[in-house]
Amino acid sequence: MPRLKPLAALGLIALFGYQYSFAEDRQLSSELGPLKVHTVAEGLVNPWAVAFLPDGQGYLVSERPGALRRVSAEGEISAPLRGVPEVFAVGQGGLLDVVLSPDFAEDRLVYLSYAEAGDGAAGTAVGRGKLSADASALENFEVIFRQQPKLSSGTHFGSRLVFDRDGHLFIALGDNNDRPTAQDLDKLQGKLVRIFPDGRIPEDNPFVSRDDARDEIWSYGHRNQQGAALNPWSGRLWTHEHGPRGGDEINIPEAGKNYGWPLATHGINYSMLAIPEAKGKTVEGTEAPHHVWEKSPAISGMAFYDAERFPAWQQNLFIGALAGQALIRLQLDGDRIVHEERLLESLKARVRDVRQGPDGYVYVLTDAPKGQLLRLGLASE
């Protein structure tokens, strides 16, 4: 799509409600020096995830109501890509994560997670399609994973997609707001699953030999996982999940381990009553969180920073906060979290996704009917 002249862009704004950013960069304070915030694009409808196309070709952004759009490097927003599956856009459901194949340069495959209706309810599905040469469509889209059974009426779908170094695809799922199922190994609610990119199941998954468990499961006892990223220094997967009222947590999930929900939690029900199944903050036989927030920021999105552009951010982990309306910066010492800073609070925006870009900047999506794609850097470096 050619870059539009300002008058043409204004015409599209009137027609479609999408905006292109001509605003000056903002400068905000941070502990490590002035933070420069550039608006790449605005007017996105509740954007959920962003992926970076190679060679400066822009970005793919998922909008929760069901559209996948290409955003050019200049901030121009395309029409919805064709070939995207129909989604269950109710409550927290819709089009969710988007990631590129590790071999995208050769196969041009794009992976999507989304809420899918069926059996009178909904669940999370994952599929893939080939991005057309002109980036206007996903071709030959195929579903490679479905959460079974479908139990959601519109809540707790998760979900994030992460490829590891061995070619496996991890899918971080929610419990569909059906708490006990997170402990049921014959169901895929509240699980982290591990499959191959084509949907096949690795033979070394921890429950493959058990007749009473789903072969896809890697770990269980999770609530609503909306953040996952591969630690670039250790190669291990980190995930995070929403607690109920309190108790958002980070985990480093290991094969076959139980991460507690709803038996162990630092939170309570939104009604201010205790979680009925809970037996305490820690329960024997379950894994304690790697990190926990007693007061929930409502976390979403996760990105480690290992680029050379901003040395002060190296060995840091960035996490979005929805209710907390911030970007959380966590300073690491190995796997230990030694310091926390809240960024972007003056924007009063729900941060849905955060990614490290190939250019070394940090990119953030704000969750709103006219959401923004922001690029962040330290002004002093």
Which residues are catalytically annotated? 156
| Three-state secondary-structure class, residue 122 | strand
Closest CA to 377 of 367, 364, 362, 366: 362
Tokens 């996704």 correspond to 353
Residues near 234 by beta carbon (within 8 Å), at least 6 away in sequence: 335
Give the span between the Cα atoms of 351 and 362, in whole angstroms. Answer: 13
Closest CA to 182 of 271, 286, 93, 266: 286
Give the span between the Cα atoms of 236 and 290, in whole angstroms. Answer: 13
Give the span between the Cα atoms of 337 and 339, in whole angstroms. Answer: 6
Tokens 């890509």 correspond to 81
Give the span between the Cα atoms of 180 and 362, in whole angstroms. Answer: 37
CA distances (Å), 293 to each of 225, 242, 259, 271, 330, in order? Answer: 15, 10, 16, 19, 12
Query: Per residue, what are the HEC states of 193-240?
Result: EEECCCCCCCCCCCCCCCCCCCCCEEEECCCEEEEEEECCCCCCEEEE
| Three-state secondary-structure class, residue 311 | helix
| Three-state secondary-structure class, residue 131 | strand
Give the span between the Cα atoms of 69 and 87, in whole angstroms. Answer: 15
Task: Identify the bridge partners of residue 343 per DSSP, sorted by sequence position.
Answer: 327
∠ Cα 171 172 174 (to 5°): 130
Start-to-end CA distance of the chain, whole Å, equals 33
Give the span between the Cα atoms of 364 and 112, in whole angstroms. Answer: 19
